[in-house]
Chains A and B, each alone.
Chain A
Amino acid sequence: MSTLERLQRWLGLGGSCAPGIRPDTRKARTRDLGIQRAPLPPQVSLALNDNSHKPWAETLLEVNDGDWVRAGQRIARPVGHLALPMHAPISGRVNLTGAAAITSTREHASDAPGIVIVAEGCQQILTMRPLAADHASPEQIFERIAEAGIAGMGGAGFPAALKARAAHRAGIDTLVINAAECEPYITADDALLRHDAERVVSGALILARATGATRIVAGIEDDKPEAAEALSAALATSSLPADVVIIPTRYPSGGERQLIDRLLARRMTPQQLPVDAGVLCHNPATLAAIHDAVIRGLPAITRIVTLAGQALSAPGNVEARVGTPAATLLADAGLDTSRLAKLIDGGPLMGHQRSLASAATTPTTHCLIAATEQELPSPPPPSPCIRCNDCVPACPAGLAPQQLWWHTRVEDDARAKAHGLLACIECGACDYVCPSHLPLAASFSDAKRRLRVADAERARADQARARFDARKERMQREHDEREARRQARKAALRRPAPKTPADDHAPTSSAPADLRSLRIAQAAAKAALRKAEKALERAAQQQQPSEVLADLESQQSTAREHLEAANAQLDAARQEAPTS
């Protein structure tokens, strides 16, 4: 596939058969309306990820139930290395008890406890000290991006500071502004660029300078000429060489890897990240948030959300505080609940379906679609794959979804992997074209997860094997050492030496112990000799019978012999161990 594409590119045919799909974009209703500032919500709800099963994303709440917090005040600090700090989007009172009922859309209700803040008091936003972007060190910029709690605002919500630090470490040359906004309905980045391209470019320049990128390339689809114009105008004054590349409107041209390949002709393996290809990629909303954090000291507590769908009488783009209940936002946009069939957080292809009662915006919510049943009808039940191959030209990663489906539906993940499953970006383009309405992308995402689990298990098994082998080796070594010592001891005992009383109760193990026991034996022999001499003296004074005297004399001579033997042994041992 890639060889074929390379050939096509070489022949100048690259653009003629671009992969992807062309769904009805449905952007006309909101694209020209500008950005309205949403009224401050009476309350916001946020999800706190302190789930102990996700230690890398753990966040620690810093406020108590009933506390008054100011807008912009940090209310939770990150613990895990992928976690972000959380700031109060509005001033008000923290309510943790009623939080179970309403949770933000970021996690499922069971996944994370919620925090509700009920608006109260002065609503002025607490800001951080602005940084002088031209003089700040890269580390200061990254630190500020982390402090402001900026997550990628295009959908994945990956911490922007981590991405920036990785880019700085890896040494990148290009910053890509991903303004493709390829999914239907969404016009948030379009509106932001038309309205405020300077902020986006300022954020891009700050990030480019901090990460060491030497040029900026923006990719934007050809259905947004006004935004492209505004971006070009703003980039014209930029201090770095900059390019705006217009690409055909196709879903998913805004996929990070697809866009980088399209703009710079740089490919990545599924294991590689854009930074490995020398690229850092962000969407306009994230760059504007970086500008706000650095230049104005604002934490990431607002974002632009497209409110769309036929169930709304007044759709448009609004700048809303994070955590604003979807019901509040949509009511202001003229929601007709009787026509609402589906509420989608995100676009119709990548979004998640939510319930109106519990949904609230998150830092990654770029769109809320209040769709009627006619607009986004529920798909009919899936029927078997007919191998029509429609999904193959749709796949942006150049995979053959129908072949992958064959393997993933029977969980033959190894074969699916061999067919390139890991390159799947789960964009859902194959689902869109599938005449059998098969849940292809969901099945691929499950298979990818199974593969990740299997990989983790294999890594653990390898580690355990290595440790088990290391332990076995250690125990063998210890056993050998013990055995060697035992042999040495045996050899020492077998060495010819006069038998002394010391031998009976002084087992020798090593040189110092040997010396000590010999010294004790010598002292005992000396004492025995003195005792024998005294006994003989006393017997001589008391004029004992001669047999008794003879007996004592022989005892004394035996004791003397023992002492001499002990002395000889001690000398020998001292010569053997001259260090002691």
Chain B
Amino acid sequence: MTAPSLLGLLLLVSLIGSCGLLLGWLHRRFGAGEDGLVQQIDALLPQTQCGQCGYPGCRPYAEAVEQGEAINKCPPGGDTTIAELAALLGRDPVPLDGEATSTTMVAFIREDECIGCTKCIQACPVDAIIGASKLMHTVIADECTGCDLCVAPCPVDCIDLLERPPAMGESIRLIASDRSPGEHHVNA
């Protein structure tokens, strides 16, 4: 092997090496990183914080999914969330593990029956219940995720899960010219 070809080889190797180092540094400096992936997974979860997946909240489940946990353990998210997670992570969509539950519920405390034990306040993952010891509690409906975690601890069974009324933007007919779902224009 002649000296010029050896020199060329050396040059090539050093070029490749420096490029690799640069790319590595760029990835570490600006890349999404693993934390970014957890965040992306977390963004797809419905944030009910219900713990039905076996993890104490959506973020811990997102971390577990990033580590290889199954993507079908979120009943409130249902098939939509599974499909989105599958698309994000490049895994195959799998049927939901468990029964699909609706996220459109909201807890309601029958206030006459509440004894003020504060058990539901401690159970609520999003601090959506206000009240104090031996005083009546109530649910802040706008903050409630309908996760069901307050129902079991209640010693007097005064908490119901009701269907959440649609928000204004979700309404079927907001202005008079809006159409009902499936209602065609006269001409169509």
Q: Is A446 an interface residue (CB 8 A)?
A: yes
Q: Is B99 an interface residue (CB 8 A)?
A: no
Interchain nearest-CB distance for A199 vs B (Å): 23
Across the interface, do B170 and A449 meet the contact criterion of CB distance under 8 Å? Answer: yes
Task: Annotate B151-177 by CB proximity to A: 1 below 8 A, 0 otherwise.
Answer: 000000000000001111111110111
Contact segment of B90-98, B121-129, B131-139:
B121-129
Contact segment of A297-305, A463-471, A495-503, A563-571:
A463-471
Taken together as a complex, chains A and B put the C-alpha atoms of A155 and B178 apart, in Å, by 10
Taken together as a complex, chains A and B put the C-alpha atoms of A299 and B67 apart, in Å, by 66
Taken together as a complex, chains A and B put the C-alpha atoms of A349 and B58 apart, in Å, by 47
Taken together as a complex, chains A and B put the C-alpha atoms of A52 and B70 apart, in Å, by 40
Q: In the complex, which residues of chain A have a beta carbon less than 8 angstroms from the beta carbon of B127?
A: 467, 470-471, 474
Across the interface, do B188 and A379 meet the contact criterion of CB distance under 8 Å? Answer: yes
Q: Is A462 an interface residue (CB 8 A)?
A: yes
Interchain nearest-CB distance for B11 vs A (Å): 46
Q: Is A350 an interface residue (CB 8 A)?
A: yes
Across the interface, do A442 and B49 meet the contact criterion of CB distance under 8 Å? Answer: no
Across the interface, do A468 and B47 meet the contact criterion of CB distance under 8 Å? Answer: yes
Task: Annotate A430-461 by CB proximity to B: 1 below 8 A, 0 otherwise.
Answer: 01101001111110011001001101110011
Q: Is A158 an interface residue (CB 8 A)?
A: yes
Across the interface, do A455 and B126 meet the contact criterion of CB distance under 8 Å? Answer: no
Across the interface, do A446 and B181 meet the contact criterion of CB distance under 8 Å? Answer: yes
**A155-B177 contact in complex given A453-B170, A464-B48, A467-B128, C-beta closer than 8 Å:** yes
Across the interface, do B169 and A455 meet the contact criterion of CB distance under 8 Å? Answer: yes
Q: In the complex, which residues of chain A have a beta carbon less than 8 angstroms from the beta carbon of B187?
A: 348-349, 376, 379, 428, 431-432
CB-nearest residue of chain B to A458:
B43
Across the interface, do B47 and A155 meet the contact criterion of CB distance under 8 Å? Answer: no
Taken together as a complex, chains A and B put the C-alpha atoms of A66 and B177 apart, in Å, by 33
Give residues of chain B (77-132) contacting chain A, Cβ–Cβ below 8 Å. 103, 125-128
Q: In the complex, which residues of chain A have a beta carbon less than 8 angstroms from the beta carbon of B47?
A: 460-462, 464-465, 468
Taken together as a complex, chains A and B put the C-alpha atoms of A572 and B176 apart, in Å, by 80
Taken together as a complex, chains A and B put the C-alpha atoms of A457 and B104 apart, in Å, by 9
Q: Is A292 an interface residue (CB 8 A)?
A: no
Interface size, chain A (Cβ < 8 Å): 61
Out of B45, B179, B188, which one reaches A440, CB within 8 Å? B188
Task: Annotate B18-42 by CB proximity to A: 1 below 8 A, 0 otherwise.
Answer: 0000000000000000000000001
Interchain nearest-CB distance for A84 vs B (Å): 11
CB-nearest residue of chain B to A451:
B169
Taken together as a complex, chains A and B put the C-alpha atoms of A55 and B165 apart, in Å, by 9
Out of A344, A351, A467, which one reaches B126, CB within 8 Å? A467
Q: Is A1 an interface residue (CB 8 A)?
A: no
Taken together as a complex, chains A and B put the C-alpha atoms of A467 and B185 apart, in Å, by 43
Q: In the complex, which residues of chain B have a beta carbon less than 8 angstroms from the beta carbon of A350?
A: 177, 185
Q: Is B7 an interface residue (CB 8 A)?
A: no
Q: Is A353 an interface residue (CB 8 A)?
A: yes
**A438-B128 contact in complex given A156-B175, A445-B179, A452-B169, C-beta closer than 8 Å:** no
**A442-B184 contact in complex given A350-B177, A465-B42, A468-B58, C-beta closer than 8 Å:** yes
Across the interface, do A344 and B186 meet the contact criterion of CB distance under 8 Å? Answer: yes
Give residues of chain A (143-162) contacting chain B, Cβ–Cβ below 8 Å. 151, 155-158
Q: Is A266 an interface residue (CB 8 A)?
A: no
Across the interface, do A456 and B167 meet the contact criterion of CB distance under 8 Å? Answer: yes
**A349-B186 contact in complex given A426-B179, A461-B46, A467-B126, C-beta closer than 8 Å:** yes
Q: Is A224 an interface residue (CB 8 A)?
A: no
CB-nearest residue of chain A to B172:
A449
Q: In the complex, which residues of chain A have a beta carbon less than 8 angstroms from the beta carbon of B185?
A: 349-350, 428, 431, 439, 441-442
Q: Is B182 an interface residue (CB 8 A)?
A: yes
Q: In the complex, which residues of chain B have a beta carbon less than 8 angstroms from the beta carbon of A474?
A: 127
Across the interface, do B143 and A457 meet the contact criterion of CB distance under 8 Å? Answer: no
Across the interface, do A468 and B59 meet the contact criterion of CB distance under 8 Å? Answer: yes
Across the interface, do A438 and B188 meet the contact criterion of CB distance under 8 Å? Answer: yes
Q: In the complex, which residues of chain A have a beta carbon less than 8 angstroms from the beta carbon of B128?
A: 467
Taken together as a complex, chains A and B put the C-alpha atoms of A213 and B58 apart, in Å, by 51
Q: In the complex, which residues of chain B have a beta carbon less than 8 angstroms from the beta carbon of A531?
A: none
Out of A108, A342, A426, A463, which one reaches B180, CB within 8 Å? A108
Q: In the complex, which residues of chain A have a beta carbon less than 8 angstroms from the beta carbon of B183?
A: 352, 442
Across the interface, do A468 and B103 meet the contact criterion of CB distance under 8 Å? Answer: no
Across the interface, do A441 and B186 meet the contact criterion of CB distance under 8 Å? Answer: no
Taken together as a complex, chains A and B put the C-alpha atoms of A472 and B55 apart, in Å, by 14
CB-nearest residue of chain B to A459:
B167
Q: Is B145 an interface residue (CB 8 A)?
A: yes
Across the interface, do B179 and A352 meet the contact criterion of CB distance under 8 Å? Answer: yes
Q: In the complex, which residues of chain B have a beta carbon less than 8 angstroms from the beta carbon of A156?
A: 175-177
Interchain nearest-CB distance for B12 vs A (Å): 43
**A439-B126 contact in complex given A449-B172, A467-B143, C-beta closer than 8 Å:** no
Q: Is A310 an interface residue (CB 8 A)?
A: no
CB-nearest residue of chain A to B56:
A472
Task: Annotate A43-67 by CB proximity to B: 1 below 8 A, 0 otherwise.
Answer: 0000000001111100000000000
Q: Is A364 an interface residue (CB 8 A)?
A: yes
Interchain nearest-CB distance for A83 vs B (Å): 12
Taken together as a complex, chains A and B put the C-alpha atoms of A151 and B175 apart, in Å, by 10
Taken together as a complex, chains A and B put the C-alpha atoms of A365 and B181 apart, in Å, by 21
Q: In the complex, which residues of chain A have a beta carbon less than 8 angstroms from the beta carbon of B46?
A: 457, 461
Task: Annotate A204-242 by CB proximity to B: 1 below 8 A, 0 otherwise.
Answer: 000000000000000000000000000000000000000
Task: Annotate A362-376 by CB proximity to B: 1 below 8 A, 0 otherwise.
Answer: 101000000000001
Across the interface, do B176 and A157 meet the contact criterion of CB distance under 8 Å? Answer: yes
Taken together as a complex, chains A and B put the C-alpha atoms of A351 and B184 apart, in Å, by 10
Interchain nearest-CB distance for A24 vs B (Å): 12
Task: Annotate A335-368 by CB proximity to B: 1 below 8 A, 0 otherwise.
Answer: 0000000101010111111000000001010000
Taken together as a complex, chains A and B put the C-alpha atoms of A483 and B34 apart, in Å, by 32
CB-nearest residue of chain B to A51:
B165
Interchain nearest-CB distance for A186 vs B (Å): 14
Q: Is A250 an interface residue (CB 8 A)?
A: no
- Beyond the given pairs A156-B176, A452-B169, A461-B45, 11 more chain A to chain B contacts, judged by CB atoms under 8 angstroms and listed by A's residue number, are A54-B165, A82-B168, A351-B186, A431-B185, A441-B188, A442-B179, A453-B170, A456-B166, A456-B169, A460-B47, A461-B46
Which B residues lie at the A interface, using CB under 8 A? 42, 45-49, 57-59, 103, 125-128, 143, 145, 165-173, 175-188
29 sample A-B contacts, Cβ–Cβ < 8 Å, listed by A number: A52-B165, A111-B173, A349-B187, A350-B177, A351-B186, A353-B186, A428-B187, A432-B187, A439-B184, A439-B188, A441-B185, A442-B184, A442-B185, A446-B181, A452-B169, A453-B169, A456-B169, A456-B170, A457-B103, A463-B143, A464-B49, A464-B126, A465-B59, A467-B126, A468-B57, A468-B126, A471-B126, A471-B127, A472-B57
